[in-house]
Amino acid sequence: MEIGILGTGMVGRTIGSKLVQIGHQVMLGSRDAANPKAIAWANKVSSPHALYGTFKNAAEFGEIIFNCTLGSASLDVLLQVGAKNLKDKLLIDVSNPIDYSSEGLTLTVCNTDSLGEQIQRAFPETRVVKTLNTMNCNMMIEPDKVPGRTNVFVSGNDPKAKEAVAEILRDWFGWKSIIDLGDITTSRGVEMYLVFWSSIRHAVTADRFNIKVMTS
Amino acid sequence: MEIGILGTGMVGRTIGSKLVQIGHQVMLGSRDAANPKAIAWANKVSSPHALYGTFKNAAEFGEIIFNCTLGSASLDVLLQVGAKNLKDKLLIDVSNPIDYSSEGLTLTVCNTDSLGEQIQRAFPETRVVKTLNTMNCNMMIEPDKVPGRTNVFVSGNDPKAKEAVAEILRDWFGWKSIIDLGDITTSRGVEMYLVFWSSIRHAVTADRFNIKVMTS
């Protein structure tokens, strides 16, 4: 499958490498067509299936698009890409709205709104599914490295889009316990969880950890 | 031990009943000395150790104080009680800053501040520890009803106060896996988690559930 990844940070590169590895064609998109991180990534992956270009190139290329940009930049990037290139497509939103302009860890949007909702509102003809943003990127693609079948969550308005994402999570990344939280407004919870996640990370002094929901 | 509980809602009554059951003297405090819910609780518990009175009475009574008021009312209640009655005491803050004036689930404070921090700032001579607010009240006092040794979290500035709370959680309530998140600013994460918790609750259709942090 042809997949566009917006963002050349660690998350985008990690997901991109995994997707190439399992046989997909991946284009990493960034502000500049010749982004040094994207070039280094393509050289490292060393496959004809590892491509790079602008955000717009990557979105045009992909049947499915992963949003791995900084949350604070996501809306700008997507507007740059244009609604036409996102129309009817599955947009898997992995980003977190971290406010890098403030001290400490705070979010640019929370409580009464979320980045997932903002994106869905801005692109009503795109099928936005929020997922995977509740963990470190190494965890995203190798869930079995942590024992206990921990959970990944999906949020979105379109049940079929969520089912497609659940298949991707299951078949491509190896997730076994996927929880459908509900519509895109449930992005608020998974985004606001970042602050808790950061405290837990500090407390357990592990990059690779995740939560498991246990019921009686 | 003599324990004051602020709030006569389900959380306060549930914790109060448990504490009386294991041999402590408990005073449930509310706005009115003769609150019907407090009277009904005392009748039901039917023990000379189950007492009730005003918020101030309960705070004066307790060597340890549980804040189980509505988060949106907590600061007002504590100001009513007065700093003198809280001085040097352990204040176990179980509340969540839910904004009942808004539709949907939103918080009265989050992101750049938290109720835990607000309380600690308002009462600098009180040893505030945030805990137990990440779950339903039945879960708080019966952690073993959910399998897998799930986690409870503590946040606070005073390491000795957190150690005392950990002992309470362990010896009185039966918690086995207690995670110290850090200083009182980590209240932000556990309070903001409420929105995520609410979505999970809806998805798993269980009142009694909790999360377990799994590491590799």
Q: With cut-offs at 50, 70 and 90, classify the pLDDT of residue A58.
A: very high
Q: Within 13 Å of residue A113, how many CA atoms lie on the same side as its CB?
A: 9
Count of helices and strands (H, E) across chain B:
8, 9
Please give the pLDDT value at position A206: 82
Q: Which amino acid is at B115?
A: L
Interacting residues of A131 by C-beta distance below 8 A, sequence separation 6+: A92, A93, A94, A152, A153, A154, A155, A165, A169
Give the whole-angstrom CA distance, residue B152 versus residue B136: 12
Tokens of B9: 């809602």
Give A179's contacts in chain B (Cβ within 8 Å). Answer: 200, 203-204
pLDDT reading at A88 higher than 80:
yes
Angle at B74 between CA B68 and CA B76, to 5 degrees: 145
The SS3 call for residue A91 is: strand
pLDDT of res. B37: 97
pLDDT for A103: 85
Distance from CA of A183 to the nearest CA of B (A): 10
Q: Using a CB cutoff of 8 Å and minimum separation of 24, what contacts does B114-118 make?
A: B114/B184, B114/B185, B114/B187, B114/B188, B114/B191, B114/B192, B115/B71, B115/B74, B115/B75, B115/B187, B115/B191, B116/B155, B116/B184, B116/B187, B116/B188, B116/B190, B116/B191, B117/B184, B117/B185, B117/B187, B117/B188, B118/B75
Nearest to B156 by CA among B132, B125, B134, B183: B183
- Chain A residue with CA closest to B109: the answer is A111
What are the backbone dihedrals phi and psi of residue B198, each rounded to the nearest 5 degrees, phi first? -65, -40
Cβ distance of A216 and B206 shorter than 8 Å: yes
DSSP string for A156-180: ES-HHHHHHHHHIIIIII---EEEE
3-state DSSP assignment of residue A144: helix
Closest CB to B179 among A147, A203, A214: A203
What pLDDT shows up at residue B186? Answer: 98
Q: What is the ipTM of this complex?
A: 0.97
- Does an H or E element contain A209, and which? strand A209-215
pLDDT at res. B208: 92
**A182-210, pLDDT tens digit by residue?**
999 999 999 999 999 999 999 998 879 99
Candidates B96, B183, B196, B208: best to mutate against A (most CBs of A within 10 A) is B196
**pLDDT at residue A96 tops 90:** yes
Instruction: Look up the pTM and report it.
Output: 0.97
Shortest alpha-carbon distance between residue A101 and chain B (Å)? 13
Which residues of chain B carry a pLDDT beneath 50? Answer: none
- Tokens describing residue A70: 């900084």
Return the DSSP state at B111.
S
Confidence of residue A178 (pLDDT cuts 50, 70, 90): very high
Residues near B138 by beta carbon (within 8 Å), at least 6 away in sequence: B14, B145, B207, B208
The chain-wide mean pLDDT, for chain A, equals 97
Q: For B170-195, how does the pLDDT look when each residue is reduced to its tens digit (9 = 90+)?
A: 999 999 999 999 999 999 999 999 99
Contacts of A48 (CB under 8 A, 6+ apart): none
Non-local CB neighbours of A137 within 8 Å, separated by 6+ positions: A10, A11, A14, A15
- Please say whether the beta carbons of B20 and B51 come within 8 A: no
Q: Is A24 helix (H, G, I), strand (E, B) or coil?
A: coil
**B55 vs B78: CA distance, rounded Å:** 8
Q: Do A214 and B214 touch (CB under 8 A)?
A: no
Q: Please name the residue of chain A whose CA is at the shortest distance from the CA of residue B209.
A: A215
**CA A107, CA B213: separation in Å to the nearest integer?**
23
Total residues found in chain A within this entry: 216
pLDDT confidence of residue B206: 82
- In chain B, residues with a C-beta closer than 8 Å to the C-beta of A200 are 153, 179, 181, 189, 213
Mean local confidence (pLDDT), A19-42 = 97
- Contact criterion met (CB < 8 Å) for A211 and B209: no
Chain B interface residues (partner A, CB cutoff 8 A): 102, 104, 106-107, 110-112, 145-148, 150, 153, 155, 179-182, 185-186, 188-190, 192-193, 195-200, 202-204, 206, 208-216
pLDDT band at A100 (very low <50, low <70, confident <90, very high): very high
Chain A partners within 8 Å of B146 (Cβ): 214-216
User: What is the interface size between A and B, counted as CB pairs within 8 Å?
Assistant: 133
